[in-house]
Amino acid sequence: MFRFLFRFTGLVLITLSFLFVVYDGTKSIADQTIYISRVGPTWVNIHPNSLSAFEPAVERLAGAWIWNDVIQPYFLEQPTALVLVIISALLILLGSKKTPRIGARCGIWFEDVGQHLGRMQMTAPAAANLREQRRRLITQSPRQRPRAVCRARLAQAPWRS
């Protein structure tokens, strides 16, 4: 649920960033000068009371040097589209799914293979067959191999005996 909210909010912020790029481009073409909107003036145009309330809150909680040395130069004076893209990228990364380990789709974990190889005696042809299966699984992405092939390889796995 939270991942969905993070991704959705990130996509909305990317959309807003694109709108600010279009707005800046339109204004630049109309004035025939380069115009880049900054976060501070944009925030004042949208909701001035929240910015004026945010400053004393930050100074009270974190100190005046945070507002003067960090937030103003590194946040309020930056281009609005850039700040929105960075925040949206972080939100999308927070909301992204974890990538599965290699072999997760087939149910074969290579760490398990290594543990089983250490415990059992294998003949040379069986070890070569296992190395070949590992090589094929590594080189193929999970979308390239159908589930039936995964089940068949799992059934043939020498450590399952």
Is the pLDDT at 90 greater than 90, yes or no? Answer: yes
Residue whose C-alpha is closest to residue 85's, from 17, 149, 161, 159: 17
Please check whether residues 14 and 79 belong to one and the same domain: yes
Q: Over range 15-27, report the average pLDDT.
A: 96
Please check whether residues 45 and 89 belong to one and the same domain: yes
Please check whether residues 150 and 85 belong to one and the same domain: no
Q: Which of 95, 119, 146 is the last residue of a domain?
A: 95
Q: What is the pLDDT of residues 59-83, one digit of tens each?
A: 999 989 999 999 999 999 999 999 9
Q: Is residue 88 part of a domain?
A: yes
Please check whether residues 79 and 127 belong to one and the same domain: no
Cα distance between residue 27 and residue 32, in whole Å: 8
Rounded-to-10 torsion of CA 141, 147, 151, 153? -30
* Residue 116 belongs to domain spanning: 110-160
The phi, psi pair for 101, rounded to 5°, reads -70, 165
Q: Do the Cβ atoms of 106 and 152 come closer than 8 Å?
A: no
Provide the 3-class DSSP secondary structure of residue 38.
Answer: strand
Q: What is the pLDDT of residues 109-156, one digit of tens each?
A: 444 455 455 555 556 677 677 777 767 666 665 555 555 455 555 556
Q: Is residue 118 part of a domain?
A: yes
Q: Is residue 104 part of a domain?
A: no
pLDDT score of 159: 56
Q: Is residue 103 part of a domain?
A: no
Is the pLDDT at 24 greater than 70, yes or no? Answer: yes
Q: Which of 63, 95, 127 is the last residue of a domain?
A: 95
Cα distance between residue 9 and residue 95, in whole Å: 10
Provide the 3-class DSSP secondary structure of residue 63.
Answer: coil
- pTM, full prediction: 0.60
**Helix (DSSP H) and strand (DSSP E) numbers for the chain:** 8, 0
Q: Is residue 100 part of a domain?
A: no
Please check whether residues 71 and 134 belong to one and the same domain: no
Count structural domains, the chain: 2
Cα distance between residue 93 and residue 114, in whole Å: 32
